[in-house]
Amino acid sequence: MNRTTYTFVRIIILLVWLAVGAIGGQAQGQLSSVQENDQALYLPESAESTVVSERVGSFKDSQSLPAFVVFETADGSALTQEQIVGLNERAQNIAQAPMADGTVLGDYLETPVSAFVPAENGSAGMWPIELDATQLKDFDESGDQIQVTTIEAIRAYASDAANELGNLETSTTGPAALVADLSNAFAGIDLFLLLVAVALVFVILIIVYRSIVLPILVLLTAVFALSGAGLVVYYLAKAEVVLLSAQTQGILSILVIGATTDYCLLIIARYREELGLNESPFDAMKKAIAATWEPVIASAATVSAGLLCLLLSDLRVTTSLGPVAVIGIVFCVLAAMTLLPALLLLPGKRARKIFWPAKVGSPSSGDTYEASVDSGWWARSARFVARNDRRVWITTSVVLLAFVAFVPTFEAKGLSVADTIVGETEAEAGLDTLYEIFPQTAGAQPVNILAPEESADAVVAAVQGVDGVVSADVTSDDEGPIVRNGEVLITAMTAAPSEELAAQETVGDIRDALEGTGAQVGGDAATRLDTQRTGISDLVKVIPATLLVVGLMLMVLLRSIAAPALVLAANVLSFGATIGLAAILFNHVLGWPGSDSSVPLYAFIFLVALSIDYTIFLMTRTREEALKRGTRQGVIKGVALTGGVITSAGIVLAATFAALMVIPLLFMIQLAIIVSLGILIDTFVVRTLLVPGLIHDIGNRVWWPWQAPMVEREKDEQVPATISS
């Protein structure tokens, strides 16, 4: 292929990516309109709460979702008669409150609001509101979820009433408001999250390259990759092929920015190395791509295979994360392998200027990259590990195992809705006031129990005998109990609010009490309980499958059985140490109430699938060098040559995941901390000390059963003075 053809190909590549960026950028901005954040839809159809939810509709014309507007005097004094009358009148007129889309609130009410209900203390009261749960799940023409805009309309109407009547404070709370506040936690966060991640990566790249242009080119590549991934995911979610949640969208953005940057760092490092051996930037780029495509593709394939193991999950939101993330990884590779080289070669023969003000060596100057790393920090570190290999890997393993001992203390039994959101929201603050002045509203959403007609009385008696149950009654009409297909519906009210963990525990006790009766238990608390239990059961299926798949991929890549086993063992040890550290941090330092059951699974997938990239980069380079000089010298040179780029990549990926902490949800903050911490441990401990120490100690046997080529080419088993051949 001549130079003219190369130029033509680069122009085509740039035009294609410009088109992807233009169209994909618009799709990226519309992803929120195809999100689905209803937790009930995440469960499999076989889940007990899902089965009950589908059948309970035959007993009711529609399903309601309660909200409560709490009013109290600002100074604790008694409500005046004028205020009570005014609040009562406004309660009866709330159906006419305007919505943002031009409709009125009455279109989304299940039943009219009859009156203001004063509390016994005389200084507070509330409006009990029953919203139509079915309509709240829809989106309006602007793409906003109706549940959020409905709560906003209620709050605006209540605020006007409080201001007009004077000396009143108001808060809208209850299950409908809690979910709306949860949705608001993600509102507008996508752009902010992206900006934070890009800013962090830009600063790190400036430090790494000491250049202005290179970081811009890398980030352009990452943003275009995200646009392409967003375009595909948008249409798949719109066609309901995949389920896109707010947390999945946030993870996709971080994953694409981080992984694309990592691949770019690897390519640029090899390109810079080749520039020291080739005068022509075009020849240097060809050799750089030829040398890096295999580890990049292998890394992407390994990550994708690990992510696709999420398809084994029974939670739809977790299942969909797999293919959504894989789409992101595919665009990471495409952008890094096509767009980045085209951008780097834009200056033509002056391509070295891309690195300005840093200087890049050339054959004519004799300043090669290999010569520069020979006396660098990573070369010295590699030689130190080689001289103390067994002591290093044993000491490192003992320290990591010490942290693994804290893994059983990691609490992942689930969170209440209020604990899920970091910081106090209006709904959370109002909930405390509501339950203080109206304790009878605690179990605002009932537990729904479907029972055979003939055992209805026995089921009611059993449920009433469960601690935490306030009441249990058979749903009836004027003609007596309602029977559908031989079943009756029993509604039970719990002492604890349905969004609290205590209500989930009560549901578990109800199910235990009804075992063998043929009754099935559903409702909001049951849905949360089933979600937590499903998340725990997913760990048992997904983790072994991920290890098996990643292990097989590594065997193919490294042409070895022993090396993949060693690498996986090191990564599992690193993951365990990370979870142990997180347990110490979350429980004893930050005092958090616990974690969602899906946090360990997500953390495992990202740490094993993503951080194993760095071991792949190291091991592929080590194998390349081992074929020239034997394993022991090969690992020394492999660490020296890849140390800088892998460390930079690890810091970048850790920083991008740390950006998830801007989302005010405890799940995302905990995931950000665990993944960032785990990546840093893999970067600075596992890849720098543990794995090199093990490989140097084991020697050529690490490539068993195909170690013969390394044995034949081994020149010296002693630790060399330099890494040069």
DSSP collapsed to 3 states, 364-375: CCCCCHHHHHHC
Whole-number mean pLDDT of the chain? Answer: 82
On whether the CB atoms of residues 706 and 560 are closer than 8 A, the answer is yes
pLDDT tens for each residue of 622-643:
887 777 777 888 888 888 878 8
Q: Looking at residue 313, what is its pLDDT?
A: 87
Establish how many alpha carbons lie within 13 A of residue 272's alpha carbon, considering only the half-sphere containing its beta carbon: 24
> Quick check: 190 and 233 in contact, CB under 8 A?
no
Of 346 and 68, which is predicted with more confidence?
68
The average pLDDT across 692-698 equals: 88
Which tops the pLDDT comparison, 187 or 718?
A: 187
Residue 179 has pLDDT above 80, yes or no: no
Residue 285 is classified by DSSP as H
Of 671, 175, 661, the C-alpha closest to 416 is: 175
Helix (H) or strand (E) holding 407: none
Residues with Cβ < 8 Å from 388, sequence gap 6 or more? Answer: 693
pLDDT digits (tens, 9 = 90+) for 417-476: 777 777 777 887 888 788 888 876 655 678 899 999 888 889 999 999 899 888 888 888
> How far apart are alpha carbons 41 and 315 in whole angstroms?
9
Which is more confident, 689 or 366? Answer: 689
Per-domain residue ranges of the chain? 1-37+188-367, 48-184, 389-425+561-725, 426-530
CB 226 within 8 A of CB 197: no
Candidate ranges 63-77, 519-533, 569-583, 710-724; pick with highest mean pLDDT: 569-583
**Is residue 134 scored above 50 in pLDDT?**
yes
Are the C-beta atoms of residues 710 and 631 closer than 8 Å to each other?
A: yes
Average pLDDT over residues 553-562: 83
Q: Cα-flanking dihedrals φ and ψ of residue 43, to 5°?
A: -75, 155
- Provide the β-strand partners of residue 665: 421
- pLDDT over 50 at 716, yes or no: no
CATH 3.30.70 matches 48-184: yes
Give the contacts of 221 (CB within 8 A, at least 6 positions apart). Answer: 260, 264, 335, 336, 339, 340, 343
Residues 321-333, mean pLDDT to the nearest whole number? 92
- What confidence score (pLDDT) does residue 430 get? 82
Note the pLDDT tens digit of each residue in 393-406.
999 999 999 999 99
523: Cβ contacts below 8 Å, ≥ 6 apart: 49, 52, 445, 446, 447, 448, 498, 507
Residue 511 — pLDDT band, cuts 50, 70, 90? very high
Q: Which CATH architecture has domain 1-37+188-367?
A: Up-down Bundle (1.20)
Which tens digit of pLDDT belongs to each residue from 85-133?
999 989 888 888 888 777 888 777 877 777 888 888 888 888 888 887 7
pLDDT above 80: residue 482: yes
Q: Is 477 helix (H, G, I), strand (E, B) or coil?
A: strand
Estimate to the nearest angstrom the gap between the alpha carbon of 295 and the chain centroid: 25
Would you list the DSSP string of 525-570? HHHHHHHHHHHHHHHHHHHHHHHHHHHHHHHHHHT-SHHHHHHHHH
Question: Which pLDDT score, from 0 to 100, does residue 108 have?
Answer: 77
3-state secondary structure 646-700: HHHHHHHHHHHHHHHHHCCEHHHHHHHHHHHHHHHHHHHHHHHHHHHHHHHHHHH
Percent of the chain with pLDDT over 90: 14
Q: What is the mean pLDDT of residues 25-31?
A: 78
What's the pLDDT score for residue 40? Answer: 57
Give the 3-state secondary structure of residue 509.
helix
Q: What is the pLDDT of residues 256-289, one digit of tens each?
A: 998 898 889 888 888 887 887 777 888 888 888 8
The reported pLDDT for the residue numbered 717 is 45
**pLDDT the model gives residue 327:** 94
Q: How confident is the model at residue 721 (pLDDT cuts 50, 70, 90)?
A: very low
Q: How confident is the model at residue 140 (pLDDT cuts 50, 70, 90)?
A: very low
130: which strand partners? 66, 111
- Residue 38: the pLDDT is 62
> For the CA atoms of 280, 284, 287, 290, what is the dihedral angle to 10 degrees?
-120
Q: What is the pLDDT of residues 198-233, one digit of tens each?
A: 888 888 888 887 888 888 999 999 999 999 999 999
Per-residue confidence at 328, pLDDT binned at 50, 70, 90? very high
Identify the DSSP state of 443: T
357-393 per-position pLDDT tens digit: 767 666 665 555 555 556 577 788 888 888 888 999 9
Q: Say yes or no: do domains 1-37+188-367 and 426-530 share a fold.
A: no
pLDDT band at 577, cuts 50/70/90? very high
CATH code linked to domain 426-530: 3.30.70.260
CB 532 within 8 A of CB 289: no
Average pLDDT over residues 307-323: 87
CB 68 within 8 A of CB 434: yes
The pLDDT of residue 331 is 95
Q: Are 690 and 570 in contact (CB under 8 A)?
A: yes
pLDDT exceeds cutoff 70 at 9: yes
CA dist 433 and 722 (Å) reads 71
> Binning pLDDT at 50, 70 and 90, where does residue 725 land?
very low
Q: Tell how strand 124-132 and strand 109-111 pair up.
A: antiparallel
β-bridge mates for residue 490, sequence order: 449, 474
Encode pLDDT of 235-254 as tens digits. Answer: 998 888 888 887 788 888 88
State both tokens at 161.
């009433």
Give the Cβ contact number of residue 642 at 10 Å.
25
Q: Please provide the size of the chain in residues.
A: 725
**pLDDT higher for 38 or 282?**
282
Q: Is the pLDDT of residue 719 over 50?
A: no
CA 159 to chain centre: 36
Instruction: Tell me whether residue 719 is exposed, middle or buried, using C-beta atoms within 10 angstroms of its C-beta: 0 to 12, 13 to 18, 19 or more.
Output: middle
Q: Which residues pair with 68 in a beta bridge?
A: 128, 173
Least confident segment among 436-440, 491-495, 567-571, 675-679: 436-440
* Side-chain half-sphere exposure of 170, counting CA atoms within 13 A: 20
